[in-house]
Amino acid sequence: MVAWSSSSHRRHVRILLVGDQGVGKTSLILSLVSEEFPEDVPTKAEEITIPADVTPEQVPTNIVDYSAAEQSDEALAEEVQKAHVVCIVYSVECDESLDRITSHWLPLVRESSGEQRKPVVLVGNKVDLIDYSTIDHVLSIMEDFPEVESCVECSAKTLHNISEMFYYAQKAVLHPTAPLYIMEEQDLTEACKKALVRIFKVCDIDGDGLLND
């Protein structure tokens, strides 16, 4: 049975960005911090710490970049293990980077995570370069990989959905769906069902089997 990383009493969130070279991982981080698109992009961004008072969930957040040019496979595996959530970034204009979500990155994250499976957010960057969406394709991936909590398309260049992307990553850690919903079975978990039944009984004041106003 697969175990999921616990989010109870989380005092901070550690977000790791991975993906193929050139998909815009570093640009996404720098665009978030500076609120403008960087013209000169380093190979890898330094680790960023976002204070709690400027995050939607009021939790300090560390954002970690990955570069295949600077880091070994062993270093990547260590970063995955330390992360609370992994954002797999792909380029919406590059079919190969989209295909490698399932052929490379998701299997790698699973293997590196071990039994404590990490929540994943799929991030399609460079939407400013296309006039279509890849979300339908990505939704089918979510059915096969239940650790994928959400997906978002964004643009580091225009800043479209940049803040939302990191909010979804925070939310995947602090409010995961895995304890509530089984994606493979398209059904609520037993614990969630019991909780809903309990809530219904508490709200059914007169005991007639119907919710009271």
Quote the DSSP letter at residue 21. Answer: T
pTM of the entire structure?
0.81
In angstroms, rounded to a whole number, what is the distance separating the alpha carbons of residues 120 and 207?
42
Residue-wise pLDDT tens digits, 159-210: 999 999 999 999 999 987 655 445 554 455 565 456 556 666 566 566 666 6
What is the crossing angle of helices 106-113 and 73-82, to 10°?
Answer: 70
Q: Give the CATH fold of the 3-177 domain.
A: Rossmann fold (3.40.50)
Q: Where are the domains of the chain?
A: 3-177, 180-213
Whole-number Cα distances in Å, 88 to 47, 120, 175, 195, 197: 17, 7, 19, 33, 36
In angstroms, rounded to a whole number, what is the distance separating the alpha carbons of residues 58 and 78?
27
